[in-house]
Structure 1
Amino acid sequence: MFCCVVTLRPYRETCPDHLPDLPLAGNMGGMAGNSAAAGRSVTSRALALLGAFDERHRQLSLSDLASRAGLPLATAHRLVNELVDWGALARTGSTYVVGRRLWDVGLLAPVNTGLREVAAPYLHDLYGATLATVHLAVRDGKHVLYVERLSGHASVPVVSTVGSRLPLHATGVGKVLLAFAPEDVRRQVLADLPRVTRYTISEPGRLQKQLAKVRVDDFATTQEEMSLGACSAAVPIRVGDSVVASLGVVVPTLKRDQARLVSAMQVAARGIGRSLRST
């Protein structure tokens, strides 16, 4: 007579801790694309979800997040929940927004802390003297990154916010940074000049002439090129011979006060530059 003994091992010994992501039933035709997603690290997938947000996509549904990040819905759902738990994302009904904790971490970036702290008193003085929207910005690749903004009830409505990235060629602070950027950066930007409003300069030759004038005059202007009803002027902030940032104002028109605004900004920019050199 014959006896067989079967040993049952606990579930966790026979099953892996993490099951591989599988394509959704309605998405079987895209297995080739999902196989690429499956080979990505958890960190790269989480960063792809955070990178799905931009100036025009501030609120996203789960399906939109998955699509923009190039991830299967099940993977996006799991990672989004973890990001919400940590505070990198926040739920707003059926959509998600960037969380407060991620914002707090971003404020610790050196480009924000050092420059913003040094520039703060000069920005407040400039706002008090002009009552215009005041911008402090740096170049981030082919975009202008807004590091600080001051505005009041009487200020012209603008599309920029602290942390937003806008086209270099369509903003005053951006044109200053582009004018003094390395030649290869200027070539890349000039190769693609999307029109934001009907007044945006989108012809490379015309913009090149304007940038050359900026380098001579040491300030830039725009006329409703980023948003209708808003004009801007901006000046460079230098540390030594290097342009490290740009200071700008946004007003309804530059016809009357351009010289006064530029002069006030240049005084503030020189003060910021001196303070940066001494830190």
Structure 2
Amino acid sequence: MNGSHDGSGTNEERPRARGHRPAHGEPLLDRAFRVLTCFGPETPVLSLTALAARADLPKATTLRIARRLVEHGALERADSGHYTIGLRLLEIATVAPRGHGLRAIALPYLQDLCHATRQHVQLVVREGLEGVLVERLSARDAQRVMYRVGGRLPLHATAPGLVLLAFAPTQVQEDFLAADHPPDEDDLMGTADALRSRLAAIRRDRFAVFSRPQWDVSMTGVSAPILDRRPATIAAISVITPTERSQPAAHIPAVVAVARAITRAMGTESVGDAPAD
């Protein structure tokens, strides 16, 4: 793993040896995480051969790591020999305060919002320079969307992402502007000055509205922040609705009210105005 520390007193990136061998001194924990992150929505089940190829590790090394992960419940091995993520990881994840703890407090409010709007309702937190969807409720007849619980969202190309970015520390915003972004999202970002101006407006208004195509339908998100006392964003909630079949702006009062209610329920009611630009 790039930038890993092997105890030799340097964090310099080490080149990978030829023949898919792990870099010399790469910690076992790093390799184990490489194995775990091979699984995803499109690859929930993997053979040992596929797992080794995706992790870029020798097959023998992958087998040793997989066996240890199975012993600890982080992976499960089917009779066919294929591997899947184990329930032990879910058990551990449920104690994450920004995941399950936040979700437990917010869920009754999200359910009310979903029932009132009959659309998708999302709860999103920031992890680095991306958003992570920790809960999504969907009405039965809501338009299909691409985002899944546990999935990552671009900060500049979704309504909750913009909210999270708007209330993030200034250094995070500058790091985001300096980072490389997927080519298909460049057009959604605009210029750095335009994005800064948009973030300032979100901090002032306490909500964001953003539209983008998903498959063959334009979807609009309306999002508001759950803030602490700085104020900084703990999370963002949003309603996702088809742009042409509804009036997304009509959801702004409800979304803002629910975000404030969750803030109060968490005992972190926002105070004062947003920081000066």
TM-score category by the smaller chain?
0.7 to 0.9
Structure 2: which amino acid aligns with 1:261?
Answer: H
1:8-66 Cα deviation digits (max 9, x unpaired): xxxxxxxxxxxxxxxxxxxxx826x62625x3343332222113335665444433432
Q: Mapping of 1:25-174 within 5 angstroms?
A: 30=18, 34=21, 36-37=23-24, 39-54=25-40, 58-91=44-77, 95-174=82-161
Give the letter aligned to residue 108 of structure 2.
P
> Matched residues in 1 for 2:196 and 2:268: separation?
34
Q: Normalized against structure 2, the TM-score is what?
A: 0.78
Matches within 5 A, 1:195-274: 195-196=183-184, 200-201=188-189, 203-224=191-212, 228-229=216-217, 230-240=219-229, 241-253=231-243, 256-274=246-264
Segment of structure 1 superposing worse, 202-211 or 232-241: 202-211
Higher mean C-alpha deviation, range 184-193 or range 61-70:
61-70
Q: CA deviation at 1:225?
A: 5.2
Structure number having the greater helix percentage? 1
Q: Is the 8 A contact 1:52 1:65 kept in 2?
A: yes
Show the counterpart of 1:184: 171
- Highest CA radius of gyration, 1 or 2? 1
C-alpha deviation, 1:80, in angstroms: 1.6
> What TM-score do you get using the length of structure 1 for normalisation?
0.77
Provide structure 1 residue ranges, at least 5 long, that are not aligned to the other structure. Answer: 1-28
Comparing 131-140 with 73-82, greater Cα deviation is found at: 73-82
Specify the alignment match of 1:6 in structure 2.
none
Partner of 1:9: none
Matches of 1:98 and 1:139, distance apart in 2? 24
Q: Is the 8 A contact 1:137 1:146 kept in 2?
A: yes
SS at match of 2:95: coil
Residue 13 of structure 2 corresponds to none
Shift in alpha-carbon separation, 1:151–1:277, aligned structure 2, 3 A: same
Give the distance between the partners of 2:82 and 2:183, measured in 1 at CA.
30
85-94 or 174-183: which moved more?
A: 85-94
Structure-2 separation of matches of 1:214 and 1:87: 43
Q: 1:85 to 1:36 in 2, by over 3 A?
A: same
CA distance in 2, matches of 1:231, 1:61: 39
Q: How many pairs does the alignment contain?
A: 249
Distance of 1:255 and 1:198 partners within structure 2: 27
Q: Secondary structure at the match of 1:170?
A: coil
Alignment of 1:194 with 2:197, yes or no, is no
Q: Is the 1:134–1:249 Cα contact (8 Å) retained in structure 2?
A: yes
Distance 1:68 1:55, change over 3 A: same
Between 223-232 and 177-186, the greater mean CA deviation after superposition: 223-232
Q: Shift of residue 85 of structure 1?
A: 4.5
Structure 1 residues 221 and 60: alpha-carbon distance in aligned structure 2, compared to 1, 3 A threshold: farther
Q: Share of identical aligned residues, percent?
A: 37
CA contact (8 A) 2:221 2:248 kept: no
Residues 228 and 204 of structure 1: is their aligned pair in 2 closer, same or farther, counting only changes over 3 Å?
Answer: farther
